[in-house]
Chain A
Amino acid sequence: MQQLTAETFDQNARAALRDPVLHGALRNLADNFVGRRKNAIASVDDWEGLREKARAIKEETLLHLDEYLLKFVESAENAGAKIHWARDGKEACQIVIDLVKQSDAKMVVKAKSMAGEEIHLNEALEKAGIEPVETDLGEWIIQLAGETPSHIVVPAIHKTKEQIADIFVEKVGIEKTDNVDVLTKTTRRILRERFAEAEVGISGVNFGVAETGTILILENEGNIRLTTSLTKTHIAIMGIEKVIPKFADLDVFLKLLPRSGTGQRLTAYQSLITGTKKNADDAGPEEVHIVLMDNGRSRMLSHPVTRQSLACIRCGACLNACPVYQQVGGHAYGSVYPGPIGAVITPQLIGISKAKQLPYASSLCGACKEVCPVKIDIPELLLHLRAEITDGTAGGSPDNPERKRRFAESLAFKMYGKAWSGQFSYGLGIKAARLMQKLIVRDGKIGKASGLIAKLLPPLGAWTAWRDAPAVAPRSFREMWKDGSIAEARTK
């Protein structure tokens, strides 16, 4: 399958809008998750207070990220975990590959990790001759189909049951079925065989506790537990922003994350792993490795607005609530992080010049901000990134035509501002507009109908392509007031 890129969001989105199968699949999202979340948050007494507290914990952590990270490392190492540092995705992949090779494994079982997706770990493993086996049902479907996830929590949300059954028929060799239970049982049977032979398991991390060195991973299926307790070596990939200060802080995040993500009070399983086993006979890996990865995160700390991005706990609530995501799905964003949070994280991770359309993939309606469990002001972030693009700080060389266009645009707005703030120039402008518009007004509106606007003033053509502007009235209120026709109209 051809991989979509963030650079071509507009095109991707247009193609997605014409895909009726995709819309059928996405319809479940709004119907299901949005309602479930609403019910789940009603079971908390003070949801707002909880969000405030979660954000405060994240903010406190991020403002001292160096200290909390080093504390986490010290605690985890004391408990027997091995820590690795990766400046970027390439380094992180190499560390994982080296660890797998050290244990002589030819294949690894993988539990869903967005950080792993972010650095294209599967591709890197395959190139190194190691077979990665995804074990989360959604991730496995995606892997069989040779695609990328389109949702942070439900990777195969863009696929219908029929499409998934077809993949199983082709790749696994079962009879065609429309029974979800049969598909699930088939997954269990086949992946059990892979678990039985696996020596190395790779997972992500939801929270890393500085105080105790504990990593916590949430799930519903049990594949993360199998990955982290059945193998000899467990490798956990952890973004540096996943650290939280205290063990007790887990209380706050375990109340917020499942409710926001899947509308559950708590997911079926949480694994709290603190280093390695002390007794060789116990079940569980002999080695626990934690790969701490920066990959563009530390530079988001440089401004309070961009720093918010690092508070994200990857619940996916903003995707489910977003009217744009609901229509175009995740692949259009051309990044492993889709939806509103993807529109702000992707440009910062891969460079804003490679994802210039993403901060505009929003109507700024604010639904994302309303549902965010850690109160990230995503609209504020979108505007911040848009400003970076228009300021030219992200535009490359001064000869860039894009930059020239932005300059002309800002000049036009300056002149407009000046003219409209003086009474005389305003009146003159209106008179001129009244005369000139005769050419382009149809049925009292300025719009696409005449087609002239696009020819005369191309930048305004973009505006009227989608909506009409009202024509300037033949006489203004002030004029009518002055000559008494308002008073006349009232007495009549």
Chain B
Amino acid sequence: MVMTTAREDIIGSIRRHLATSRPFDAVHGEHRHFEVVANQALPVENVTDVRKLLDNFCASAEMLGIHIEIASDEREAAVLIESVIDRTGAKKIAVSNSQLVSEVTEIIETVEFTRNASIDFLFDSDLGITSAQWAIAETGTLVLEAENEDHRLISLVPPVHLCLLEASKIRQTLGEILELTQANLGHAMTFITGASRTSDIELTLAIGVHGPGELHIIVLNDR
């Protein structure tokens, strides 16, 4: 008996069973139809005006209970960060290695920000600050690419996540974002839409089960 690998067996089984279905498929003529529909473009809402995109993004974010503020420059953003720190009483603060986060946090001299935080630090931290590479207006979603910024744990482990976003990075639809990110797809990309939540107990909403219970977004209007 010839030994076959699991891969050969599974691919073989797929081909054999598809061959059995071919006569039925020929009768139904499905194939052509499916190919055409599968490649049809969906109707898209085309929004290019930056002002409108920002409005749409804010509206979607607010619907999800996200705290969103608009800053006209880095200084204003720094003030807004300070007020979040004051209100949450955050002491241990982890920041990502993004350019934008450095530029804004450097302005704040009274607070210590920790870069390249260890996992132990993160587990004990009060606040994580990152930026986002893109955002989706129709759903209020932040798009973070690990290749550009070490966001994976900083945006997840601390109980509060604060994210800086450049207004020019907002697009209306998920489809546009997929198109923009595909060419330079890194090993991990995360879409974040609101705080961590669950409805596993009697379908009652509870916030902050495994991830942050609070999400703050500060949009920099001039960038």
A69 to B14, CA, bound (A): 10
A250 to B143, CA, bound (A): 15
| Complex partner residue of B38 from A60, A80, A226, CB under 8 angstroms | A60
A456 sits at the interface (CB 8 A): no
Cβ B201 vs Cβ A196 within 8 A: no
Known: A63-B18, A156-B200. A87 touches B9 (CB 8 A): yes
Across-interface contacts of B185 in A (CB, < 8 A) = 212, 214, 247, 272, 274
The segment from A260-268, A362-370, A467-475, A482-490 found at the interface with B is A260-268
Across-interface contacts of B17 in A (CB, < 8 A) = 298-302
A262 to B193, CA, bound (A): 14
Across-interface contacts of B14 in A (CB, < 8 A) = 65-66, 69, 240, 298, 301
Cβ A154 vs Cβ B203 within 8 A: yes
| Complex partner residue of B210 from A80, A221, A266, CB under 8 angstroms | A221
Cβ A33 vs Cβ B42 within 8 A: no
Contacts between chains A and B (CB distance < 8 A), count: 247
| Complex partner residue of B203 from A32, A66, A273, A300, CB under 8 angstroms | A32
A393 to B108, CA, bound (A): 75
Which of A75-116 touch B at CB < 8 Å?
79-80, 85-87, 91
Cβ B152 vs Cβ A225 within 8 A: yes
User: Within the complex, what minimum Cβ distance (angstroms) separates A404 from chain B?
Assistant: 30
Across-interface contacts of B141 in A (CB, < 8 A) = 266
A225 to B196, CA, bound (A): 11
Cβ B174 vs Cβ A160 within 8 A: no
Across-interface contacts of A55 in B (CB, < 8 A) = 34, 37
B87 sits at the interface (CB 8 A): no
The segment from B20-28, B47-55, B77-85 found at the interface with A is B20-28
Across-interface contacts of A157 in B (CB, < 8 A) = 203
Across-interface contacts of A53 in B (CB, < 8 A) = 37-38, 40, 42
Interface of A is mostly: helix
Indicate with 1 or 0, residue by residue over B142-153, a CB within 8 angstroms of chain A CB atoms.
000010001011
The segment from A10-18, A130-138, A414-422, A424-432 found at the interface with B is A130-138
Cβ B37 vs Cβ A52 within 8 A: yes
A230 to B118, CA, bound (A): 12
A223 sits at the interface (CB 8 A): yes
Interface residue tally on B, bucketed by range: 35 or more
Cβ A191 vs Cβ B210 within 8 A: yes
Across-interface contacts of A270 in B (CB, < 8 A) = 190-191
Cβ A188 vs Cβ B208 within 8 A: yes
Across-interface contacts of A254 in B (CB, < 8 A) = 174
Q: Which residues of chain A have a CB within 8 Å of any CB of chain B? A: 25, 28-29, 32-33, 45-46, 49-50, 52-53, 55-57, 59-60, 63, 65-66, 69-70, 79-80, 85-87, 91, 135-138, 141, 154-157, 159-161, 164, 180-181, 183-185, 187-188, 191-192, 196, 212, 214, 220-223, 225-226, 229-230, 240, 245, 247-248, 250-252, 254-255, 262, 265-278, 282-284, 292, 294, 298-304, 307
Q: Which residues of chain B have a CB within 8 Å of any CB of chain A? A: 5-7, 9-11, 13-15, 17-18, 20-21, 24-25, 28, 30-31, 33-38, 40, 42-43, 45, 60, 119, 123, 138-139, 141, 146, 150, 152-153, 156-157, 173-175, 178-179, 182, 185-204, 206, 208-212
4 tightest Cβ-Cβ pairs between the two chains A and B: A222-B211, A56-B37, A222-B210, A138-B200
List 20 additional A-B contacts (Cβ < 8 Å) besides A141-B201, A155-B200: A52-B37, A53-B37, A53-B40, A85-B10, A161-B201, A184-B209, A188-B208, A220-B196, A221-B198, A225-B156, A250-B174, A262-B199, A265-B193, A268-B193, A268-B194, A270-B191, A277-B187, A282-B187, A283-B153, A303-B24
Can you report 25 A-B residue pairs in the complex whose CB atoms are below 8 A from each other? A33-B203, A50-B42, A53-B42, A63-B30, A136-B200, A164-B201, A184-B206, A222-B210, A222-B211, A222-B212, A229-B153, A230-B119, A240-B10, A248-B175, A248-B182, A250-B178, A252-B42, A265-B138, A265-B139, A269-B190, A271-B189, A282-B152, A284-B152, A298-B10, A302-B20
